[in-house]
């Protein structure tokens, strides 16, 4: 049995047929799936879905993409604190297995609703707000003793520095996963040293840099994920991704690591169950 540790069945792309996607995953041997929240609405939706299907679990979080909507507001920090309060209330539900996804995203998006501000001042403010809401979620994970689902895009060491910063009082770094691994090998190495698990997605099948990182991840820290509806693996790249495709990621990784498919499946499933306490 495989676990898809990160998907967004709660996104619009699955509005009409998320249950069919869950069924297809079960038929493909994907017995457990974690639906990841990226703001208040999608976190609520993830919980509602997990209540309906016993192979689903939920996370509650606020993704750095959504900070952009707040930069023009005069009291952005107050807003962030309110968001964190709502996440905290939701996180008490028994379907909720992690805080996140949260983190830092410094990618310069073109022609996208996530396009960053053009001027330097707003860009700095955006980064600052991303760090603030990330910090609040790190503190929440520590308080609730839940793992963190960590998103990084082109911020690498700043992500890990932020975690160090918010945990420096007592040095208790929450457990967690660096989801959808990318970035430098130093980032991967430091993340492993901090105790994190590493999530690998379908882009490992076509992105040489991700493949090189995946080779270096010890089996006892590896988890597999799809990030559906994004990042469909080869040969389904142009299609909507879905949890059943985590099987393709697992097969690819078993070949890459020169181990049997069964061994990879057992190890990643055990890791996912341990990290997220899926029982």
- The residue among 196, 83, 188 whose CA lies nearest residue 129 is 83
Q: How far is the CB of 35 from Zn ion (least distance, A)?
A: 10
Instruction: State the minimum distance, in angstroms, from the CB of residue 102 to Zn ion.
Output: 9
Between 151 and 247, CB nearer to Zn ion: 151
| Nearer Cβ to Zn ion (227/265) | 227
Bridge partners (DSSP) listed for residue 210: none
Chain residue at closest Cβ approach to Zn ion: 151
Structural tokens at position 95:
């379907």
Query: To which residue do tokens 């590896």 refer?
Result: 222
Task: Closer to Zn ion by CB, 126 or 254: give it.
Answer: 126
Host H or E run for residue 57: strand 56-60
151 is a site residue for Zn ion (CB under 5 A): yes
Stretch that binds Zn ion, among 54-62, 132-140, 146-154, 195-203 (CB under 5 A): 146-154
For residue 45, state whether it binds Zn ion (rule: CB under 5 A): no
| Region 224-243 residues binding Zn ion, contact defined as CB under 5 A | 227
Question: Measured from the CB atom, is 76 or 177 closer to Zn ion?
Answer: 177
Given the complex with Zn ion, which of 241 and 269 has the nearer CB atom? 241
The count of chain residues that interact with Zn ion, using the rule CB under 5 A, is 2
Burial class of residue 206, CB neighbours in 10 A (0-12, 13-18, 19+): middle
User: In whole angstroms, how close is the CB of 192 to Zn ion at the nearest point?
Assistant: 19
Nearer residue to Zn ion within complex by CB, 227 or 242: 227
Which region, judged by CB under 5 A, interacts with Zn ion, from 18-26, 185-193, 220-228, 242-250?
220-228
d(CA 5, CA 269) in angstroms, rounded, equals 9
- Neighbour-count burial of 239, counting CB atoms closer than 10 A to its CB (0-12 exposed, 13-18 middle, 19+ buried): exposed
- Residue 70 and residue 47 in contact, taking contact as beta carbons nearer than 8 Å: no
* Cα–Cα dist 15/76, whole Å: 31
Q: How far is the CB of 227 from Zn ion (least distance, A)?
A: 5
247 near Zn ion, judged by CB under 5 A: no
- Residue 58, classed as helix, strand or coil, is strand
Q: How far is the CB of 11 from Zn ion (least distance, A)?
A: 9
Q: H or E element: which one contains 222?
A: strand 222-224
Cβ partners under 8 Å of residue 206, min gap 6? 233, 234, 237
Binding site for a divalent metal cation, by residue number, is 6, 8, 101, 151, 179, 227
Binding site for Zn ion (CB under 5 A): 151, 227
């Amino acid at each position: 049995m495989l676990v898809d540790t990160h998907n967004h069945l709660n996104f619009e792309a699955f509005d009409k047929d998320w249950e069919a996607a869950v069924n297809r995953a079960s038929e493909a041997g994907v017995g457990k799936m974690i639906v990841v929240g990226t703001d208040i609405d999608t976190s609520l939706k993830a919980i509602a879905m997990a209540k309906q299907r016993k192979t689903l679990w939920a996370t509650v979080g606020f993704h750095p993409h959504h900070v952009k909507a707040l930069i023009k507001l005069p009291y952005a920090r107050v807003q962030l604190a309110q968001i964190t309060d709502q996440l905290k209330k939701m996180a008490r539900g028994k379907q909720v297995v992690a805080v996140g996804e949260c983190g830092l995203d410094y990618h310069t998006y073109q022609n996208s609703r996530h396009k960053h501000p053009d001027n330097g001042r707003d860009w700095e403010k955006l980064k600052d707000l991303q760090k603030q809401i990330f910090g609040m979620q790190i503190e929440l994970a520590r308080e609730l003793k839940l793992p963190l689902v960590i998103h990084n895009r082109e911020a690498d060491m700043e992500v890990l520095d932020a975690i160090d910063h918010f945990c420096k009082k007592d040095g208790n770094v929450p457990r967690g996963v660096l989801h959808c691994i990318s970035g430098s090998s130093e980032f991967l190495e430091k993340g492993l040293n901090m105790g994190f698990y590493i999530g690998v997605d379908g882009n490992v099948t076509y992105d040489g840099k991700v493949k090189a990182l995946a080779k270096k991840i010890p089996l006892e820290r590896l988890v597999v994920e799809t990030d559906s509806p994004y990042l469909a693996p080869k040969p389904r790249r142009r299609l909507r991704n879905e949890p059943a495709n985590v099987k393709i990621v697992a097969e690819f990784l078993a070949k890459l690591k020169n181990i049997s498919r069964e061994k990879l499946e057992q190890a990643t499933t055990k890791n996912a169950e341990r990290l997220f306490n899926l029982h």
